[in-house]
């Protein structure tokens, strides 16, 4: 089992805790940010291969920001590969 505690940059969330089990996303927990939306993102990526989640989430922006919580999750997952 691999895990990462990722400090986010440029978002309302401050941190993402990710656990991979047997090459798939087992759990994602955001600290801070829009709680309901981020619970939804976490539930949707559970069971996905990191590469699939990265392809779906990377580059998503939040308003005028150059990043978003889903984009930060993609960057964190890339770090784990």
Give CA–CA dist 27/66, Å, rounded.
25
pTM score: 0.97
Give CA–CA dist 9/47, Å, rounded.
25
pLDDT tens digits in sequence order for the chain, 81 residues long? 899 999 999 999 999 999 999 999 999 999 999 999 999 999 999 999 999 999 999 999 999 999 999 999 999 999 999
Give CA–CA dist 37/5, Å, rounded.
20
For residue 27, give the CATH number of its domain: 3.30.390
Give residue 3's pLDDT.
Answer: 98
Give residue 27's pLDDT.
Answer: 98
Provide the number of structural domains found in the chain.
1
Question: 43-80: b or e for each residue (b if 16 or more CB lie within 10 Å)?
Answer: eebeebebeebbeebbeeebeeeebbbbbbbbbbbeee
| Structural domain containing residue 28 | 2-80
Token pair 């991979």 in the structure block, residue: 20
Give residue 49's pLDDT.
Answer: 98
């Amino acid at each position: 089992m691999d895990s990462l505690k990722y400090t986010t940059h440029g978002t309302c969330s401050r941190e993402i805790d990710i656990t991979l089990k047997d090459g798939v996303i087992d759990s994602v927990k955001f600290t801070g940010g829009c709680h309901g939306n981020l619970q939804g993102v976490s539930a949707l990526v559970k069971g996905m291969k990191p590469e699939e989640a990265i392809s779906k989430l990377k580059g998503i922006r939040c308003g005028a920001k150059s990043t978003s919580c889903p984009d930060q999750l993609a960057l964190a997952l890339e770090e784990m590969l």
